[in-house]
Structure 1
Amino acid sequence: MSITEQQLLLILPNAGRIAGVFAPALSAAMGEYQIITRLRSAAFIAQIGHESSQLTRLVENLNYSANGLANTWPNRYAEPNGKGGYVKTVMNNTVRNKPNALAMGLAGKAELIACDVYAGRMGNTAPGDGWKYRGRGLIQVTGKHNYRLCGDALGLDLVSHPELLGQPWHAVMSAAWFWSVNRLNALADVSDIQNIGSIINTGSKGRTPNGAAARRVLYQQALNVLT
């Protein structure tokens, strides 16, 4: 199933003019990776739309506040309460984890955050790898090991040139590759949007992904357009 610029804008209106850049790349990638039925196409476009802020963000934003750090990675950045949980604070009438000293020190320092969060993980070994191999693409490929796997599949030297995944064509192809290797077509065939989002956002099934409701709204919009 091919996707037109007009269809993309109906599903992802915030994409604006860039929809015309992504439409041919999406059509090619979806054809290559068998994302060709209405259910598969709707699920794919909804997920990449959510992950990329409707095609407007191709590189991971790690400019976290201290509170953002404490509530995204609590095991690293939240103040422990000594009972296996975390000290709580109230912000805007919402109960949140209280940031620890490390979170306070890293707040707003995106490169340092990346190097702390991703150090020694996902094939990252050298100083600076966390920042160099931060999330890129429409479904953010993260970590040197995953960049290598993706590059091997796409015929790109992403280890030497990770910035390539910040380009629209490669950003799309990397997302379709991720979709394929994680067998997400099978979940799309049964409209299991929750677990598709869980795998993309958390790495495994059975969890509630970030923005679960928003992902479902985009999925319904895509179904309505792709008739």
Structure 2
Amino acid sequence: MQLNASIIAAGCGATVLRAAQWLQPIQAACDKYGITAPLDAAAFLATVGVESARLTLLRELWGPTDEQKRYDPPSDKAGALGNTDPGDGFKYRGRGCIQITGKANYALCGLALDLDLINHPELLEQTADAALSAGWFWHNNKLSALAGDFLAVSRAVNLGNPHSKSMPNSYSERLALYTAAKKSLGIQTT
């Protein structure tokens, strides 16, 4: 599927100027990871739009919040993320267009992209690597198979409570971008 700045702007909720800056990296990620069906591309773009704050943030904002404090050992969350040392939560906080999080995910993503993300996690803040990491995440989690069920895609990525109006990753924002992406791709919306 050939994307353009208008499609990316609609799907990610970004300005056309910002979308134009992201066109090549997002197209490369879609091409590399087979995100080529229109419905799949719509779901991918909407997810990228929400997770990157409309292509403006490539690194998780850090408080640390109570949830972020759980990224460090000895919590179960830290164990699930592969964070073994104090400070790993901050070091391997969410980065990239779909916020790769945790040492284990950085290691897997680094292998797939041939990047040393364990020693240089900041590489996922670079435009091309950020987009490719999103494509890798999408492919690795088999999200193309869920593209027709956008609620399932959203839950698989980072939905939280789909009915919360206060959550930055709420379903209503995701759904609005998904609807805009489908429209820009010529997909009938109901």
TM-score grouping bracket, smaller chain normalisation? 0.7 to 0.9
1:15/1:55 contact within 8 Å kept: no
Residue-pair matches, total: 175
Q: Match of 1:139?
A: 98
Where do 1:70-219 residues align within 5 Å?
73=67, 114=68, 116-120=69-73, 121=78, 122-188=81-147, 191-201=148-158, 208=162, 210-219=169-178
Q: Return the TM-score normalized by structure 2.
A: 0.85
**Which position in structure 1 is the counterpart of 2:57?**
57
Label 1:125 to 1:13 Cα distance change in 2 as closer, same or farther (>3 A). closer
User: Which structure ranks higher in relative contact order (CA pairs < 8 Å, sequence separation ≥ 6)?
Assistant: 2
**CA deviation profile, 1:61-94 (whole Å, cap 9, x unmatched):** 12367xxx4xxx4xxxxxxxxxxxxxxxxxxxxx
Partner of 1:220: 179
Letter in 2 for 1:46: A
Consecutive unaligned residues of structure 2, counting only runs of 5 or more, are: 164-168
Runs of 4+ in 1 over 6 A off after TM superposition: none
Shift of 1:159: 0.3
- CA 29–216 in structure 1, closer or farther in 2 if over 3 Å, else same: same
CA-atom RMSD, angstroms?
2.0
CA distance in 2, matches of 1:136, 1:13: 19
Give, in whole Å, the separation in 1 of the partners of 2:178 and 2:26. Answer: 16
Gaps of 5+ in 1: 74-113
Letter in structure 2 aligned against 1:201: N
